């Protein structure tokens, strides 16, 4: 299971780097799905939904330290995963988290590019790493629903 978990983490991290490198050079503003998704450059100095936004280097480094500690915890869970779906889930979460952490270290913020909305109502802006994290969470939820508890 370790190979699956850390392979998924490495794949998510690599794909995040490739997608970001390609999209940072692309012009912002293209419609991806009319009324639902647009390509739009945004730099997020916080975490999900711009919570914990940091405008100082000290705040950025403290946020990065907290996220690194959480990533280590997720890596430990990936190491100990006993089912394929949970190994995949933890791996995707770890790869996405490392992608966002790398963005913070290199750029000082996370590069978001997919603006999701319902018509004129904005929802959020995300990136490939966020999608990997969300897919990992879905895998963990599915694992919890599909796995029968062991009887003692």
Q: What is the mean pLDDT of the chain?
A: 90
130 is catalytic: yes
Q: Are 139 and 9 in contact (CB under 8 A)?
A: no
Catalytic, 112? Answer: yes
The mean pLDDT of 115-128, rounded to a whole number, is 92
Instruction: Please determine, for residue 55, whether its predicted confidence score (pLDDT) is greater than 80.
Output: no
Candidates 38, 55, 103, 112; catalytic one: 112
Cβ contact 90:78 at 8 Å = yes
Assign residue 118 a region (left: φ > 0; alpha: ψ between -120 and 50; beta: otherwise): beta
CB count, 10 Å around CB of 20? 22
Pick the catalytic residue from 38, 55, 103, 130. 130
């Amino acid at each position: 299971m370790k190979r699956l978990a850390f392979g998924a983490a490495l794949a998510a991290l690599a794909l995040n780097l490739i997608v970001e490198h390609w999209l940072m050079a692309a012009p912002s503003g293209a419609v991806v799905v009319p009324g639902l998704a647009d390509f739009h450059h945004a730099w997020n100095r916080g975490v999900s939904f711009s919570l914990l936004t940091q405008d100082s280097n000290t705040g950025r480094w403290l946020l990065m330290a907290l996220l690194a500690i959480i990533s280590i915890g997720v890596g430990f869970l990936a190491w100990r995963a006993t089912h394929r779906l949970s190994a995949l889930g933890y791996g995707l979460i770890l790869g996405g988290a490392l992608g966002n952490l790398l963005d913070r270290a290199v750029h000082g913020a996370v590069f978001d590019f997919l603006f999701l909305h319902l018509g004129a109502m904005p929802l959020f802006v995300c990136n490939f790493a966020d999608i990997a994290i969300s897919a990992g969470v879905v895998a963990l939820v599915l694992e919890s629903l599909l796995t029968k508890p062991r009887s003692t």
